[in-house]
Amino acid sequence: MHMKLRIHRARTIAILGALALSAACSASAWAQSDAQARQSVQDHHLRAQLQGSALREQQRQQTSRTVQQAFKDTASKSGLQQADQAQYDAYRANQRNRVNDAAAHPVQQRAVKLKPLHPASARSGS
């Protein structure tokens, strides 16, 4: 009888261990997929910001070209071209900084804390 009880306890412990391991693996997989989803959202948001900035920059450049064409004076055109180049350089630096910041700060995976299946007091009564 004692042997059957020991075998039953060993099986129960093995099953509980397998369940705990399965729960840990599931929680880890969930945390990874959650982090991947958050990273995907962050990437999408960055792309949308970059595309919006690119469109605004294209509009600004077109306006600048139109204004430059209105001036006949080469000194005025030269001044506008220098200002336009400075704004373009600032735009490029801003885009580069956004990309670098996103690369330097990826979405962090949250640590998963698992609770024991049974309190310690229940296990000590064996």
Residue 27 has pLDDT above 80, yes or no: no
Span 53-89, pLDDT tens digits: 999 999 999 999 898 888 888 888 899 899 999 999 9
Alpha-carbon distance of 55 to 116, in angstroms, equals 53
Alpha-carbon distance of 55 to 38, in angstroms, equals 26
Measured in degrees and rounded to the nearest 5, phi and psi for residue 28 equal: -65, -45
- Residues recorded for the chain: 126
Q: The pTM is what?
A: 0.56
pLDDT-derived band at 112 (thresholds 50, 70, 90) equals very low
Alpha-carbon distance of 121 to 124, in angstroms, equals 5
Span 3-21, pLDDT tens digits: 676 777 777 877 777 777 6
Could you tell me which residues come within 8 angstroms of residue 99 by beta carbon, excluding any fewer than 6 positions away?
A: 46, 50
